A and B are shown apart, each in its own frame.
Chain A
Amino acid sequence: MDRRSFIKLTAVSGTSAALASCGNLENQLIRFVPDEDIVPGVAVWKPSVCPLCPAGCGLTVRVMDADADVVRNGQTGVLRILAAKKLEGSPAHPINQGGICARGQAAIQVTYHPDRITQPLKRAGSRGDGRYDATSWDDALAEIISRLDGLEGAGNQQALAFVARHGSGHRAAVVAQFLGRYGAPGPITYELFGDDVLRRANALSFGRDQLPTFDLPNARFVLAFGADFLGTWNSPVSQNHGYGLMRQGRPGIRGAFVQVESRMTQTGANADEWVPVRPGTEGILALGLAQVIISAKLRPADAGGRAGALIEGWTAGLRAYVPEQVEGLTGVAASRVERLAHQFADMRPAVAIIGGPPLAHTNGLFSALAVNALNALVDSVEQPGGLYFTPQLNLAAVTKQQGAAPSTPPSLDRFAAEILSAGPSASRVLFIDGVNPVHTAPRAWQVREAFEKVPYIASFGSFLDETSILADLILPDHTFLESWAEAVPESGATVAVAGVAPPVMSPLHQTRATADVLLEIGRRLKRPLTLPWQTLDEMLGATFAMLPAATKDADNWTDAQEKGGWWGSLPAGFTVAASTATLATPPIAFTEPQFDGDPQQYPFHFLPYPSNAFLDGSLAHLPWLQEMPDPLTSAMWSSWAEINPATAERLGIEQGDLIEIASAHGALRTAAMISPGIAPDLVAMPLGQGHQTFTRYASGRGENPVALLAPMAEATTGAFAWAATRVRISRVGDPDGRLIMFAGGMREEPNDEGR
């Protein structure tokens, strides 16, 4: 017997028991007649739009035949379908230009997730225990309609509340129209890492209430303040593309890049120079640079224009921000301030970017306005190599919307407080649309307690999470591959963009597109809402037919569906015009950032940051992203807290040790990650883990840093200041295996304690 036969034989005898069940199992399965004509073995690529973050990247989806397990007429069997198999970036799309981030790659798992809600559910147990009974769409819709008719009968339409993510597309317009015509307030939007402070600053400085787009390919010097623009912030794929061209796209010119922050992000790790500053003093550094530029007469102060006029002392030469003063406040050496200022003014086009933690302090608006003024000073606004604002499609004008816009809703914290104080206007019916504030809002807002008091909650999400588990009725949405996908991106391109794509595949389960469900409810109410469209695609068709076509006889709507959207320049009537009105706000001056917690008792600043894999935690249910190593620490499937090596040594903490982090609002235990890229007085934790209820992959895994956060607010805008909490840390135990590293030892299944 030769070696090969021997190995084959031993392998066969060893595995025969396992293999004995292999055979033509397919024979025993029931097959259903397919609904579509399918060519086996041949892939086609169809356009779509990535829904995982507001950037609105265009996708191409590889679609091939596949066998899906389905239930038809109560019988389980196999159905041959055309199934989406792989997502790639759409090469022609002006935002991502063929690129796609790791999160976008993992978006395919949303559709095939084993814990997806497959049909309407009605609560069977007590609220929050997760017991549901299956129900039919007819019964579910009848129930919702009778609830809404009941409110209307009592003249209490204001008691309908809709909680959603910040959205600017057609789907959001359907929701707003539904609420407006019914008589309810507009959707309450909440994002933990929202950019409201920057939007307000841009509205004040430039008349643009939106996030900026950076012309990185033409920039020669980029100075970023805390903005993780290559990782998670704004339009990361577009910015990565531009960044690559800035560094290597111009023969002979390599753009320089300096990152100012107190914890090194993935973006900071790419910088030529990394400048740590004290939390909350980023705006001072920006004005320090402006002061040097003005006093050295590199640029005239009046170049600051409207943005400069918003800063107190700008016209007088910013005497409060001389380099020595800046050194004392920020911790950045005066000589370095001078050098950076000269670089910034000489290596033009130069652009300053602010985002993330600097705007999450109580003085965030000041920092944003300071950076805006610095950009204006070096003439980098709406100029090549500077910052632009993506022309915004004015959906209300394009679709000729009529009827009252819904009234302005309260912020989420006010909304929760109103319910808890049980005022007469308190919400009676609550709709939740794919947002999880119970997980991401600070505990002091008592969102969970408030929602529990709402008499009736309906959720449209595809998964049970900490918020949707409070729902009385779940009306699961299609995933983006099964329904019309669309986006009207706020930033990322210098031309106007509206993404759209027809469904890539037919729905796997008994789900329905939420926009269509709302339109149907609107039609069936006792007082029908007479919305102008029957379905979302009818509305999309109406919009895209209005947009200017490339050629005279081109059919815009058909073209847009084929290439995944429309982009180009918009006629004046269809854009949101920049506001030119000068606002009567008094000039703003630096105010000390306020932090929750006594510095003696809580000596460390606490910085939660959006995880590269999960953003604010809404993607923790995708196992590919759980498996993706964090780019700076290589940790995966777990939580950790980053600590400076000097601090760790002083406190006797070693890599992987169990530590306790406590603020005045809560405490948690997690693994220590010793990281040189963090200031000695700072502790940082990624968001995303610590879910109690969020599918088999995320539940009971890691810790949620939101539990520590104090309900601090940005002083002027009222936005949640998520970086304004102080904590203390202490070592409580040896490494216990809860920290999982890519470059670590063997990974095990969770043990009995769920770790």
Chain B
Amino acid sequence: MSAAFNDFLGRRPSPEQPIEFPHNVHVAKKIACTEYCHESVTTGPVAGLPSVRTCMICHDAIATDRPRIQQITAMRAKGLDLAWQRVYGYPAPSHVKFNHAPHIRAMVECATCHGNIAEQTVARHNVDLSMGACVTCHIEKNASIDCLTCHF
């Protein structure tokens, strides 16, 4: 009942990722987020989510003794991919279009919406991404608040 209620109001539950990906470890090792794993986030509307193949570029050799790495190595061997969930993941008929690329160009930190990933494992809801949250930030940053900026 509460899930249905939240779904109706557009409140999405926190995503449950297939593995608890340690962002903090990768960020500490200075792996560039937008060049390897989330490519297309700087050019397109949607952040790319890495397939298991991308993980294996490094993890064929690195940290092969860790259980999580062995888990994904086994998946790759079976031809299976990681079913990553989008952090907010609004359904298509939400009548609102979000495009990552201009936000990255405007130097909005990933942490603004996804939490400080240098200190956490998987990305989480950092704000209640309602229209109010978007508009407040747009006003603060002097970005357009024309309806058609997002609703088109």
User: Which positions in A face B, CB cutoff 8 Å?
Assistant: 8, 11-12, 15-16, 19-20, 22-24, 26-27, 29-34, 39-42, 72-73, 77-78, 80
Contact = CB atoms under 8 A, between A and B. Distances in A.
Nearest to A33: B81
Grouping DSSP codes into helix (H, G, I), strand (E, B) and loop, the B interface class, with mixed when no group exceeds half, is loop
Given A27-B16, A39-B40, A42-B44, A33 B4 contact: no
B83 A26 contact: yes
B22 interface: no
A20 B46 CA distance: 28
Interface in B73-114: 76, 79-83, 85
12 contacts: A27-B18, A30-B80, A31-B82, A31-B83, A32-B80, A33-B79, A33-B80, A40-B46, A41-B46, A42-B43, A73-B79, A80-B51
B66 to A, nearest CB: 21
Contacts of B83: 26-27, 29-31, 78
Contacts, number: 78
A16 B1 CA distance: 6
Interface of B: 1, 3-5, 7-9, 13, 15-16, 18, 39-40, 43-49, 51-53, 76, 79-83, 85
Contacts of A77: 80
Contact of A40 (B1, B13, B40, B53): B40
A27 B85 contact: yes
B79 A72 contact: yes
Q: In this complex, which of B1, B45, B47, B76 has the most chain A Cβ atoms within 10 angstroms of its Cβ?
A: B1
Contacts of B18: 27
Contact of B3 (A23, A32, A41): A23
A32 B18 CA distance: 14
A613 B139 CA distance: 52
Contacts of A80: 51, 81
Nearest to B84: A31
A192 to B, nearest CB: 42
A11 B8 contact: yes
Contacts of A32: 79-81
B128 to A, nearest CB: 17
Contact of B8 (A12, A39, A40, A72): A12
B16 A24 contact: yes
B39 to A, nearest CB: 8
B7 A22 contact: yes
Contact of B4 (A16, A34, A72, A73): A16
Given A31-B83, A41-B44, A8 B13 contact: no
A434 B15 CA distance: 47
B3 A33 contact: no
Nearest to A18: B4
A39 B45 CA distance: 10
Contacts of B7: 19, 22-23
Nearest to B81: A31
Contact of B44 (A20, A30, A39): A39
In the complex, the 3 A-B pairs of residues with the closest C-beta atoms, listed nearest first: A41-B46, A19-B4, A31-B81
A696 B40 CA distance: 40
A16 B45 contact: no
Given A31-B81, A32-B79, A20 B3 contact: yes
Given A24-B15, A27-B85, A42 B4 contact: no
A22 B5 CA distance: 11
Contacts of B45: 41-42
Given A12-B5, A27-B18, 17 more contacts: A11-B8, A12-B4, A16-B1, A16-B4, A16-B5, A22-B7, A23-B7, A32-B79, A33-B53, A34-B81, A39-B43, A40-B44, A40-B46, A40-B47, A41-B44, A77-B80, A78-B83
B80 A31 contact: yes
Given A23-B13, A34-B51, A41 B40 contact: yes
Contacts of A27: 16, 18, 83, 85
Given A33-B76, A39-B43, A20 B85 contact: no
B4 A15 contact: yes
A32 B5 CA distance: 32
Query: Counting chain A CB atoms within 10 Å of each CB, which of B8, B39, B49, B53 scores highest?
Result: B8
Contacts of B40: 39-42
B79 to A, nearest CB: 6
B122 to A, nearest CB: 13
Nearest to B12: A24
Contacts of A31: 80-83
Contacts of A8: 8-9
Nearest to A41: B46
B104 to A, nearest CB: 14
A20 B1 contact: yes
Contacts of B44: 39-42
B20 to A, nearest CB: 14
Contacts of B47: 40
Contacts of B16: 24, 27
Contacts of A15: 4, 8
A40 B48 contact: yes
B61 to A, nearest CB: 19
A33 to B, nearest CB: 5
B5 A24 contact: no
Contacts of A41: 40, 44-46
B79 A24 contact: no
A23 B16 CA distance: 11
Contacts of A78: 83
Given A27-B85, A32-B80, A22 B4 contact: yes
Nearest to A20: B4
Contacts of B8: 8, 11-12, 15, 19
Contacts of A42: 40, 43-45
A34 B9 CA distance: 33
Nearest to B40: A39
Contacts of B82: 31
Contacts of B80: 30-33, 77
A438 to B, nearest CB: 42
A42 B76 CA distance: 26
A39 B40 CA distance: 6
A32 B75 CA distance: 9
A24 B3 CA distance: 10
Contacts of A73: 79
Contacts of B53: 33
A22 B51 CA distance: 25
